[in-house]
Structure 1
C-alpha cells in the first residue's frame, strides 16, 4: 500500500513545480511510477494546454483595461464593449467561476493524472493538485490578512475600465491626466502581483500541495486494497490549479457527462500539512460556495461518531478557492479537506517558505485516516 509519507518524501525531490515546468513533469512521472505498482489500477495521463500561472491573465486584464481607458475619448462605444468584457472576466475569475479569457495564453503542455480501480454506479474521486504556485506578494504574512480587501480594491480599479468609456458615451469626458492615473493603477496592480515571481520564481510547494497529493494517494491506495462495494475509486492529480483551478476545470468539462450520470463524490485534499485539520463547508469570492452535500454530511457524522476525529472542524475558506469549486457549483457532491492555523490562515503558502520542514506529517496522516473514514461512511443513495 502506498504511504503518504513516502510519496511526500519522493516528490519533494522536485520543488518549484510550476504548471508545465520540468520539475512538475518529472514529479508527475515519479508519481505514475509509484502508482504502477498498485494491483489492478488503470493509469491514464490526460494532457492539455494551460497558462503557466494566473499572471498572464492578470497582465491581459491590466494592459487591456489601460488601453480601454486611454483610448475611450476616441472610440467610447467600442471601448465600452471591451471594458465590460475585461471587467466581467476579472469579476468571474475572482468569484471562482468560468471566465471567458482565462485560457488565453494556454500554450504550456501539462497533464492530469488519473488512476482508477473498480466498477459500479458510484464513483469516488480523490483529488489533489501537483503544481506549485508563483511566489506572491499578496500572500506575504503582512499582506495575506488583507487579501479580500485587496481583491475588492483591485476589482474597483478594473471596473473603472468600463465606467470611464461608459461616461464617454454620455459625452462626459475626463481630463487626460485622470485616464493616465487609472492606467498606472491598473498596470501597477499587475506589477505588484508579479514582483515576487520575478524575484523568486515558483514556490517549493511542500504544504501547497505535496501534502494534498500524498494524502489523496494514500487514501486511494487504502480504498483500492479493500474496495467499497459497487464503487469505482479514482485518484485524480491535477495540474494548473495555480493558474485558476484550470486542470480541475478541464477535467470537469471533459468528464462532466459521466460525472452527472453516476453517483459521484469528489474529495479534494489541499494544504493539509500545517495547523488544524478541517473540512471546508464554505468558500467562494464575491458569492459563496456551500459544501452541504453527502460528503459534507458524512464528514460531519464522522467527527461526531468517532472520537478519533472529534478535533476535525468545519471551516470557511477566505483566501482563493479549491479544485472542488467546479464540481460544487455543478451540484456534484464534493468537499475539500484542508488545515488552518488558529487565525484561519494557511501560513507560508505561495511564498518561498512553503518548504518541507514546515510540514507536520502527523497532520497529513490524520487527513488520510479522516478522508478514508468519510468515504467509507458515505450512505448508499
Structure 2
C-alpha cells in the first residue's frame, strides 16, 4: 500500500516524500524573459516548457479515435480525459489488499496491472524522444511571437514574464525552481499565470483544471471567464469546459493561489495531434492555432491593464 501512496503522491505533485528520499536533486534549465511595461504593478506570467516527450505504445491514440468514430454523440459529451494513472496506482494497492485479506482475485488483478504498467514503462524507456514540435515547441514559438508582437504593439500597464521551464515531462521539474525563485516577488493580488501546453492542433482549448488522481479546477474561475470574454470580443474561437487527467506546470501557481489558466489544443477526436509520436514534426502543426493563442494573449493584456483586471484577480480575498 505504501507503493501506491508513493506513486499517487508523486504524480499528483504532492509532498513527494519517496522521490526526495530516493533521488538526488537534478538540474534543469528555465528561460525567463521580461517584456511589456517594466514599471507596471500588474504582471502576466506566460509559461511554456521546452523539453520533448518520449514515445511508446501507451500513447497510441487509436482507441480514442475509434471511440470518437463509433459513438460521436457520447464522445462529445465527455469533457474529462480518462484517468490513466489510476490503474498504475491500483496495481500495488490491489496486491496489498489481496495479501491482507487473502482475496486471490485482488492479488491476481494487482499482479496483472503491475505487469502491464511495468511493460508500458519499459517500452517508454526504450523508445525514442519525439521531435517535439507540438509538445511543446509550439508553445515556445508562441512565447517568441508574443515578445515580437509586444515590441511592435506595446501594451502599457502590464509587465509580462515569458517563462519556458525545463523538465516538465518528469512531472513538473523546472516550474518548482521558478516558483522558489520568483513567487516571493510576485504579488498574488496583482499576478496572473497563463500556461501554453501543446497548442499546435486545430482547435484552441482552455481547460478548466487538471488532476492525475483528484481533479482540481484552476484557482480563480473569474480569470478564465475574463479570457473567454476577450476571446469572444476578438472573434477568436476558444473551447471551454474540458479537464485533463495529465499534469501541467500550471498546477503549481494554481495551488499557490495565483489566478491560473492553461491553453492547449485538440483535433476532432479531442486528441492532441501527434502527441508523444514521432510524427510530431513542424510540418504537422496547425500554425493558425498558435497565432490565435498569441492574439488572445495580446488582447488579454489589454483587458488586464484596464478595469477588467478586477474580475480576473482575487483582490481582497
Give yes or no for TM over 0.5.
yes
Residue number in structure 1 paired with 2:27 = 109
- In structure 1, how many angstroms separate the alpha carbons of the residues matched to 2:172 and 2:195? 12
CA contact (8 A) 1:87 1:162 kept: no
CA contact (8 A) 2:207 2:263 kept: yes
Residue 114 of structure 1 deviates from its aligned partner by: 0.7
- In structure 2, how many angstroms separate the alpha carbons of the residues matched to 1:265 and 1:287? 24
Residue number in structure 2 paired with 1:190 = 118
- In structure 1, how many angstroms separate the alpha carbons of the residues matched to 2:109 and 2:225? 50
Residue number in structure 1 paired with 2:315 = none
Question: Which has the higher relative contact order, 1 or 2, with Cα contacts under 8 A spaced 6 or more apart?
Answer: 2
CA contact (8 A) 2:206 2:262 kept: yes
Residue number in structure 1 paired with 2:172 = 245
Secondary structure class of the residue paired with 1:353:
coil
Residue 250 of structure 1 deviates from its aligned partner by: 2.7
Secondary structure class of the residue paired with 2:226:
helix
Equivalent residue pairs, number: 289
Residue 234 of structure 1 deviates from its aligned partner by: 0.9
Residue number in structure 1 paired with 2:75 = none
Q: Say which of 117, 125, 146 aligns to 1:219.
A: 146
Aligned in 2, Cα 1:95/1:148: closer, same or farther, shift over 3 Å? farther
Q: Say which of 228, 235, 252 aligns to 1:326.
A: 252
Q: How does 1:1-381 map to 2 (within 5 A)?
A: 83-84=1-2, 86-102=3-19, 104-106=22-24, 108-117=26-35, 118-142=38-62, 148=82, 150-160=84-94, 162-163=96-97, 167=100, 182=110, 185-198=113-126, 200-261=127-188, 263-291=190-218, 292-307=220-235, 309=236, 311-378=237-304, 379-381=308-310
Secondary structure class of the residue paired with 1:111:
coil
TM-score where L is the length of structure 2: 0.79
**Cα-Cα RMSD:** 2.9
Secondary structure class of the residue paired with 1:109:
coil
- In structure 2, how many angstroms separate the alpha carbons of the residues matched to 1:343 and 1:126? 27
Residue 109 of structure 1 deviates from its aligned partner by: 2.9
Max Rg structure: 1
Residue 193 of structure 1 deviates from its aligned partner by: 2.2
Aligned in 2, Cα 1:271/1:265: closer, same or farther, shift over 3 Å? same
Residue 205 of structure 1 deviates from its aligned partner by: 0.7
- In structure 1, how many angstroms separate the alpha carbons of the residues matched to 2:276 and 2:29? 21
Residue 304 of structure 1 deviates from its aligned partner by: 2.5
Residue 349 of structure 1 deviates from its aligned partner by: 0.8
Residue 225 of structure 1 deviates from its aligned partner by: 4.9
Aligned in 2, Cα 1:182/1:337: closer, same or farther, shift over 3 Å? closer
Residue number in structure 2 paired with 1:66 = none
Per-residue CA shift, 1:316-346, capped at 9, x if unaligned? 1334122111112222111111111122221
CA contact (8 A) 2:4 2:90 kept: no
Residue 279 of structure 1 deviates from its aligned partner by: 1.5
